[in-house]
Structure 1
Amino acid sequence: MTPDTATHQTPPVPYGTPDTPRIAVRGEAHLEVDPEIARITITVTARGKDRRETLADLTRRNTLALDLVKTHGDAVEHLETSALTITPELGRHGRGERVRTHHGLVHITAELNDFTALGELTTALADLDLTRVDGPWWTLRPNSPSHRTARQEAVREAVQRAREYAEALDTTLTALVELADTGTEDTHPRVPQSTRALSRAAYGAAPTEDEPAPLDLEPQRQHVRAQVDARFTMAPPRL
């Protein structure tokens, strides 16, 4: 092994030296952007003494809700049925296990990218009998460009901060030694603007002949943060 090879294989020290001083900084970015997706949950219910009639009624109401969502076309990015239950309710009095009534529930989740269509849809769904609407939950897509923009701004801030420290010592940066991503997050992941559910049955409102005016929903701004740790070497300052 030659002396040059031995020198090449020696790992660098994790700290600076008088000849190659290091500087460590943290870069942060905070963006406030419009949401890209709104999610709502729809709960369709049915109730009756006969199990098959309850199931048939639930099927009809579920189909009506799904068809109503699908009329909004490309505005609906995702639609799924998350749960279905049919539960018998036993009578409180009397001997034996006698079924008093049956309860049926279907939970539907829908994600929309058109917030005008969202207001129209939530209003129309809430106007259906025995149908409850919860949400909306505002969020960004996992691959949203906002996350990339936040990361890039965090890196630029780290470089700028390091340069300012170097300038304070009347010297310049020479190389980037390390760049570590310490976190990128959406600080409002799927948080509902209001937890109040919309449902004709919930408020006991009587059905009307006229269609209700669409709800005016104000999208909740999303906060995206990114953070990086960076280490640089700089030319030795003259102190």
Structure 2
Amino acid sequence: MTGQPSRPYDTPTTPRVAVHGEARLEADPDLARISITVTARGIDRRDTLSDLTRRNTAALDLVRSYGNVVERLETGTLAITPQLTERGRRERVRAYHGHVRTTAELTDFTALGELSARLAELDLTSVDGPWWALRPDSPVHRAARLTAVHDAVRRARDYAEALDATLVALVELSDSSLGAPASADYGPYGAVSTEDLDGAEPPDALHLQPARQIVTAQVEAHFVMTPPRL
């Protein structure tokens, strides 16, 4: 029976040390997303759809007026729902409710507060958010990976020094988990709508404080060290 091939390490003269390296960095967000919901109600389906189209166009035109600070604008859902008076044979359509949801992604957070307040002035329009995020190619992700590797090397040296030994070579380095902007998103600040203002004058701009984003990285590293002095 053939045995397993011997390794050039994991012997008393070439011991191996395995460590876990990790990093947790905080950074300001690059992007903020808001959800815009436009609604319409009426007893006639065609009129309800017409009102919804008009209000949605007004909201989209307002968002587009901010130019390049709006990085993305996407329509999510559209619905026109009949509301029935009774069930059974006597049921009939009492009214129609419609809504359109749109997501806007902005890079200027001052413009974000102003836009949110202006959207709230529109008829039957509500704003939810913001949700903060880093870009996928943010340099913070690379910094977290490098920090995790440096942490692994530092830990391995500490263990080797505790045994009066030194590191000789790296045998293996694996990426155990890279963190996307993690749960530093503290959630939306809530909905802002003309229905919530109760006749009060809407603010000129909402002052929003971006939530710090947390990026994590973890690595597993295996090193060969000199024989320890026990």
Structures share a fold, TM > 0.5?
yes
Aligned match of 2:198: 205
The amino acid that maps onto 1:47 is R
Name stretches of at least 5 consecutive residues in structure 1 with no aligned partner: 1-9
Instruction: Determine helix, strand or coil for the equivalent of 1:192.
Output: coil
Show CA shifts across 1:124-153 (max 9, x none): 111111001111111112222111110110
Instruction: Identify the match of residue 97 of structure 1 among 91, 98, 107.
Output: 91
Aligned match of 1:129: 123
Show CA shifts across 1:76-128 (max 9, x none): 11111111111111223896332211111001011111111110111111111
How high is the TM-score relative to the length of structure 2? 0.91
The amino acid that maps onto 2:203 is P
Equivalent residues, number: 226
Q: 1:13: how far off?
A: 3.2
> Is the Cα–Cα contact under 8 Å of residues 75 and 114 in structure 1 kept in the other structure?
yes
**Partners of 1:76 and 1:17 in 2: CA distance:** 60
How high is the TM-score relative to the length of structure 1? 0.88
**Partners of 2:88 and 2:18 in 1: CA distance:** 77
Q: 1:59: how far off?
A: 0.4
> Is the Cα–Cα contact under 8 Å of residues 32 and 133 in structure 2 kept in the other structure?
yes
**Partners of 2:210 and 2:123 in 1: CA distance:** 27
RMSD: 2.1
Identify if the C-alpha distance between structure 1 residues 58 and 14 changes in structure 2 by more than 3 Å, giving closer, same or farther: farther
> Is the Cα–Cα contact under 8 Å of residues 80 and 97 in structure 2 kept in the other structure?
yes
Q: 1:12: how far off?
A: 4.6
Which one is further off, 148-157 or 83-92?
83-92
The amino acid that maps onto 2:13 is D
The amino acid that maps onto 1:218 is Q
Aligned match of 1:6: none
The amino acid that maps onto 1:187 is A
Taking every aligned residue pair, what percent have the same amino acid on both sides?
61
**Partners of 1:193 and 1:98 in 2: CA distance:** 38
Instruction: Identify the match of residue 176 of structure 2 among 174, 178, 182.
Output: 182
Name stretches of at least 5 consecutive residues in structure 2 with no aligned partner: none
Aligned match of 1:77: 71
